[in-house]
A and B are shown apart, each in its own frame.
Chain A
């Protein structure tokens, strides 16, 4: 089980190396999809199934879809993949950097750190993370209202930024 989780962690690092080496944005979005998928796997293996579901639905299904079709604004006739000379140099440098940091910082296997949040500890029917998110509606209600207000404000910010013909906040657009 710990081998599976360590494989998912390695895939997370590989996915972010694929994003950070700056290929064409199509391929960077693909790297982010892979990284988010294995991140969900890491969260599931620690017992957070609801948070993993939220990550999949909102992050992958909401935000990354928007980024994927905004990649049409960055269209190129010959998109650079990870095998092209300039991108491959960055990939090698990032892998070497991660390897060096792993040598210095990663001490060992740490047997006791691969924990799972325990369902049956307090005779509860629900897992820990889903009942914690439900607290956001009861005791954390003010934070929820603030969050909804900030989202509404961001909608108006986006509308003002892209209004066009010097009527919005940017004079050039």
Chain B
């Protein structure tokens, strides 16, 4: 695996692990999701540049547009959580406790 390929792959896996093992704040999970989107943007842009497929460089731009949609939906849910529970700490989201 080339060093460039390894670095954005491990960046994606690190963001995924940070999303999986998030501890206290919902916003930390959303920021890890943004980190995954960053690594995907870098991956698609490097695919364009290293294979010299100039027509493919629209793909990272469209990925950025859709990830903006997803980030805004996540932030709307964060605001809704802060309105009902007063904070975004995950221990307050306990309706399904066992």
Find the residue from B31, B39, B78 having the highest chain A CB count within 10 A: B31
Is there contact, CB below 8 Å, between A164 and B83? yes
Check if A167 is an interface residue, CB within 8 A of chain B: no
Task: Check A36/B38 contact, CB under 8 A, given A135-B58, A173-B80.
Answer: yes
Chain A residue with minimal CB distance to B9?
A105
Residues of A within 8 A of B48 (CB): 48, 51, 117, 128-129, 132
- Contacts of B1-25 to chain A: CB distance below 8 A: 1-4, 6-8, 10-11, 13-15, 17-18, 21-25
Q: What is the size, in residues, of chain A's interface with B at 8 Å between Cβ atoms? A: 82
Residues of A within 8 A of B27 (CB): 25, 67, 70-71, 73-74
Q: What is the size, in residues, of chain B's interface with A at 8 Å between Cβ atoms? A: 66
Chain B residue with minimal CB distance to A104?
B1
B-side interface mostly: helix
Find the residue from B21, B56, B61 having the highest chain A CB count within 10 A: B61
- Contacts of A101-126 to chain B: CB distance below 8 A: 101-102, 105-107, 109-110, 113-118
Is there contact, CB below 8 Å, between A9 and B50? no
* Closest A-B pairs by Cβ, 7 of them: A20-B18, A132-B57, A132-B54, A136-B58, A9-B7, A154-B69, A161-B76
**Interface residues in chain B, defined as those with a beta carbon under 8 Å from any beta carbon in chain A:** 1-4, 6-8, 10-11, 13-15, 17-18, 21-28, 30-32, 34-35, 38-39, 41-42, 45-46, 48-50, 52-58, 60-62, 64-69, 71-73, 75-80, 82-84, 87-88
Beyond A29-B31, A35-B35, 14 additional contacts (C-beta under 8 Å) are A12-B7, A20-B17, A20-B18, A20-B32, A25-B31, A28-B32, A42-B4, A43-B42, A70-B27, A74-B87, A86-B23, A133-B57, A136-B61, A172-B80
